[in-house]
Structure 1
Amino acid sequence: MTKMITPDTVAVPASNRRPQLRLARFRDLALVPAIIVLIVIGALISPDFLTVDNLTNVLQQQSALALLVLAEAMILITGKFDLSLESTIGFAPVLAIALVEPASAHGLGTQWPEWMAIPLCLLIGAAIGAFNGLLILKFQLSAFIVTLGMLITVRGLHVGVSGGSSLFQLPQSFMYLGFEKWFGLAASVWIALIAFVIGIVVLSYFRQGRSLYAIGGNVDAAKAAGIRTDAVVWTVLIIGGILAALAGILETGRLGAIGANMGEGMIFTVFAAAVIGGISLNGGKGTLFGALCGVLMLGLIQNLLTIMRVDGHWFGAINGVIILIALVLSRVTSGKAQE
């Protein structure tokens, strides 16, 4: 019997594939020269830009965002979304603080031991990720709609628990991670860096990590290969919630307080960093190193804009333009637009 040839089964000559593959590989490292250019521009604009204090300040300011981007990048690689990370970063520390602080400090009156604050915060983040996984995987609901609903719900819980007020009385453990320095660099920077190194190693060299790409690329093929796809995605969603809660701890400690609007609007910056770092919204493509470069690039751009005294109200529009440019570059380098 003659096999029917369709456009999908026609082999593409290797000579036609090589340029596209080379461009796709280049895209993962494309931000490195861009970051170098930004550093050169910053040095020319202001003598203060290349000072140790300024650069370490940029890194510390981006540490919480970096953890959110790490979480979202892993989730996107599996082909899913999690918009609720934006509200988890605020709600997890607020509820943990409310459980350990007295009622006079906007606590819930439970006054659990202060050493429980960080474990509670991480557990709350894990619970939010687990609940998202339940609705997405067991009830087969849209990840976008589920996490959007969760974002709204958790944001409302945040305001309800805090009473719409900022919390200034923080556990000592939060303050330690926000202000302490390890080997001359903020602890939060080391934590974010270590988390990225672990993520890069796992996704590059371990079967469990490589399975994220298999699921995002073709979930049916991944199932056929024996990968427990639901368990992997559920685990990634839980890890994402934990990373968001950890980001909340670092940001709360850095600011010395937590407001009712903490994390609001961050998800747009998270997606901006992930997309310009080469993470595909279709799943199965991108590297965590590229995502990290996206975080650094956005941090340098924001720092440059601050030095140039650009009104902060324009930052959102600039991030939006960066996303659109990244989508165009994705089309050019891979021959396929991100959706």
Structure 2
Amino acid sequence: MTTLTTLRAPAPKLRLARFRDLTLVPVIVLLLIVGSFADPFFLTGDNLTNVVQQQSALALVVLAEALILISGKFDLSLESIVGMAPAVAVMLVVPTVANGFGIELPALLAIPLCLLIGAAIGAFNGFLIIRFQLSAFIVTLAMLIVVHGLHLGWSKGKSLFALPESMLYLGSTTWLGLPAAIWIVIVLYAVGIVALRYFRIGRALYAIGGNADAAKAAGIRVDRVLWGVFIVGGTLAALAGLMESGRLGGISANQGVGMIFMVFAAAVIGGVSMDGGKGTIFGALTGVLVIGLVENILSLVGVAPEWRQLIYGMIILVSLIISRIVGGKAQD
């Protein structure tokens, strides 16, 4: 009897974990109801599609941050990659009259270059954190400043509008009646959900985030996995920058600035623990949807931008409280 009891003990925790994935679903339903009363246009297909498309870049950065948080680390520099990676890629392919470097590489290389730049920044972050055992907070905070500084310096603080057609395509085309950006988000989130739930790499991330020393003792190549997740994070942030640039038709000098606060808010209210080893990709996605619906409702009812900042700040504070409660540390 003792053995059977021991074997069955994890079941309640598993059911609780699945329940936590759905904790924001009632909130989303409530927001849909509130939005429908706030403005009749809110529940139209065009508006809801627009909400999801506008949040597509945020969703990819949240996916990147969620993977890194689950592994027990975090990356503050992702927001700077969103602006810098596509900007540098564009400047490598456009002429000097369009604020380019004058190198004028083939325009078809813009997207691969952007993704490569994001991956390289993520790899450098991982190298400093893993090889030299530096604080992820300090390293990525410094890189946030450095990467954005490079963006401002190389672009001379100017916006870029001469984007290659390949970059504009991601932000303007539709596939099967939906914007391409939405399909990209759906596919990448589906891959993330499946990988973390059914593949060895997913179990490794949770194990490392829960206890890196125990994971190493179990034979997991901790350094290699962590380095890989930083590279994936940088690549996803660069892709988010591509989609945002294509949607807006240009790259401002401040693209991505301030995004990291909403990224952490979405991930944390979605159940991803900042202490590592807890949370799911689906939960992070619900956090993105909540923030997107809140922003849309505030816009439709005409709330002034300065008051929106107050509300976003309150969302972040509430998300931290939820993180403590969900993480089981509220009673400490």
Mapping of residues 64-143 of structure 1, within 5 Å: 64-143=57-136
Indicate whether 1:279 and 2:272 are aligned. Answer: yes
Q: CA deviation at 1:19?
A: 7.8
Mapping of residues 236-247 of structure 1, within 5 Å: 236-247=229-240
Q: How far apart are the structure 2 equivalents of 1:113 and 1:21?
A: 51
Q: Which residue of 2 aligns with 1:146?
A: 139
Whether the aligned pair in 2 keeps the contact of 1:281 and 1:338 (CA below 8 Å) is: no
Q: Which residue of 1 aligns with 2:190?
A: 197
For residues 102-130 of structure 1, give each alpha carbon's deviation from its aligned partner in whole angstroms, at most 9, with x where no partner exists: 00000000000000000000000000000
Mapping of residues 199-238 of structure 1, within 5 Å: 199-238=192-231
Give the partner amino acid of 2:293: L
Give the partner amino acid of 1:194: V
Give the partner amino acid of 1:92: A
Whether the aligned pair in 2 keeps the contact of 1:280 and 1:338 (CA below 8 Å) is: no
- With over 3 angstroms needed to count, the CA separation of the structure-2 counterparts of 1:334 and 1:283, relative to structure 1, is closer
Q: Which residue of 2 aligns with 1:156?
A: 149
Whether the aligned pair in 2 keeps the contact of 1:72 and 1:270 (CA below 8 Å) is: yes
Q: Which residue of 2 aligns with 1:328?
A: 321
For residues 182-220 of structure 1, give each alpha carbon's deviation from its aligned partner in whole angstroms, at most 9, with x where no partner exists: 011100111111110000000000011111000000001
TM-score (norm 2): 0.94
Give the counterpart of 1:319 among 293, 312, 317: 312
Q: Which residue of 2 aligns with 1:35?
A: 28
Where structure 1 has 5 or more consecutive residues not aligned to the other structure, the ranges are 1-12
Q: Helix, strand or coil: the match of 1:286?
A: coil
Whether the aligned pair in 1 keeps the contact of 2:167 and 2:243 (CA below 8 Å) is: yes
For residues 260-293 of structure 1, give each alpha carbon's deviation from its aligned partner in whole angstroms, at most 9, with x where no partner exists: 0110000000001001000000000000000000
Give the counterpart of 1:299 among 275, 286, 292: 292
Q: CA deviation at 1:320?
A: 2.2
Q: CA deviation at 1:322?
A: 1.7
Which portions of structure 1, spanning 4 or more consecutive aligned residues, are displaced by more than 6 angstroms? 16-21
TM-score (norm 1): 0.92
Q: How far apart are the structure 2 equivalents of 1:242 and 1:288?
A: 17
Give the counterpart of 2:51 among 45, 58, 62: 58
Q: How far apart are the structure 1 equivalents of 2:50 and 2:170?
A: 15
Identical positions, percent? 63
Q: CA deviation at 1:84?
A: 0.4
Q: How far apart are the structure 1 equivalents of 2:18 and 2:253?
A: 42
Q: How far apart are the structure 1 equivalents of 2:331 and 2:105?
A: 47
Q: CA deviation at 1:33?
A: 1.1
Q: How far apart are the structure 2 equivalents of 1:18 and 1:323?
A: 32
- With over 3 angstroms needed to count, the CA separation of the structure-2 counterparts of 1:134 and 1:76, relative to structure 1, is same
Q: CA deviation at 1:71?
A: 0.1
Indicate whether 1:174 and 2:179 are aligned. Answer: no
Where structure 2 has 5 or more consecutive residues not aligned to the other structure, the ranges are 1-5
Q: Which residue of 1 aligns with 2:282?
A: 289
Give the partner amino acid of 1:257: G
Give the partner amino acid of 2:218: A
